[in-house]
Amino acid sequence: MDGLDDIRLSFSASSLWVLKFVLASLMFGVALELSPRDFARVARAPKSVLVGLFGQFLLLPAATFLLVQIVRPPASVALGMFLVASCPGGNISNLIVHLAGGNTALSVGMTAVSGAAATFLTPLNFAFWAGLDSEASALLTKVAIEPMGILFSVAFLLGLPMVLGMWVGTRFPRVRAHARRPLRIVCGLVFFGLVTSTVVTNVEHLTVALLPAFLLVIAHNALALSTAYGVGRIFSLPPADLRAVCVEVGIQNSGLALGIIFSVFGGLGGMAMIALLWGIWHIVAGSLLALFWSRRPLVARPA
């Protein structure tokens, strides 16, 4: 993976605006299904959500830092790992939780709370953990990133669409009922097309490091899933809640990371490669996990 720190993946200005619009629209579509009742439900039974958020925003970034210290990837790859680990759950997490037989209501509640918290926690987490790694921190200084740029990107791609989507969904229930599914399908297809075209356009940069980066993404995703499962077992979460927490932490919003990378970091090679591969692999891993769990009935743990 040598040389990735000096590579900038090609991504046109028009494609960047399309990517931002698609990511914001996906978050808007997710938020259509959210309401203040979801936050109220969390407040009434906060244990599982708090455990999930603990795994999402503290344990996963910390475990990622340890993995980086063991593997010692190029600095831009490490930055990509830190950024993905700092993002909230992905847009398809609710669906995968449902297919896995997990607590879908808990998944929705975690989506609501983590999405709101990520507006501030994602930039803070990324800056903190990247700053602890000497090589990653040196590359950040070299590319002269303005920290507020990440905050504004997260607010535009996540915070604002979430607030607007919740307002529209609550105010206009018919729009919510008719728009959410088509919006997800259309935006999902466009996003997949953008990812595919980016890979094809930059294939000469990606091929040399594709296999080791892909193996690293698989290991990173496995670390996310196992960390969430472990913390859920430690806190004795009910089986359905355990499945939801595991998926929410293991399915990261790599699309948000990709939007930040191309708008703030100029398509920095290692970062973009990690986010692109995460966007592909976590769907595969989540689907396989859902298939595995869907064939196993929920069994309450003994008191």
pLDDT band at residue 297 under the 50/70/90 scheme = confident
What tens digit of pLDDT does each residue of 186-198 get? 877 787 777 777 7
Each domain of the chain, given as residue ranges in start order, spans 4-294
- The confidence score (pLDDT) of residue 206 equals 65
Q: Can you tell me the distance from the alpha carbon of 45 to that of 9, in angstroms, rounded to the nearest whole number?
A: 45
CATH number for the 4-294 domain, one of 3.30.460.80, 1.20.1530.20, 1.10.30.50, 3.40.1350.10? Answer: 1.20.1530.20
- The confidence score (pLDDT) of residue 234 equals 94
267 in helix, strand or coil?
coil
What tens digit of pLDDT does each residue of 65-79 get? 999 999 999 898 999
Q: Is the pLDDT of residue 84 over 90?
A: yes
Mean pLDDT (whole number) for 40-52: 81
CA 110 from chain center: how many Å?
A: 13
- The confidence score (pLDDT) of residue 7 equals 67
pLDDT, greater one: 164 or 94? 164
Q: Is the pLDDT of residue 229 over 80?
A: yes
Annotate 218-239 with DSSP letters as a single string.
HHHHHHHHHHHHHHHHHTT--H
Please give the single-letter amino acid code of residue 58: L
Q: How many residues does the chain have?
A: 303
Q: Of 27-31, 58-62, 150-154, where does the model show the most confidence?
A: 58-62
Question: How many H helices and E strands in the chain?
Answer: 16, 0
Cα–Cα distances (Å) from 127 to 36, 51, 61, 130, 249, in that order, read: 31, 23, 11, 5, 20
Q: Of 71, 193, 248, which is closest to residue 80 (Cα–Cα)?
A: 71
Strand partners, 89: 252
- With beta carbons less than 8 A apart as the criterion, state whether 126 and 86 touch: yes
**φ, ψ dihedrals at 75, nearest 5°:** -60, -40
pLDDT, greater one: 243 or 171? 243
Percentage of residues of the chain with pLDDT beyond 90: 24
Cα–Cα distances (Å) from 31 to 24, 83, 136, 153, 179, in that order, read: 10, 22, 34, 18, 12
Q: Can you tell me the distance from the alpha carbon of 73 to that of 31, in angstroms, rounded to the nearest whole number?
A: 36
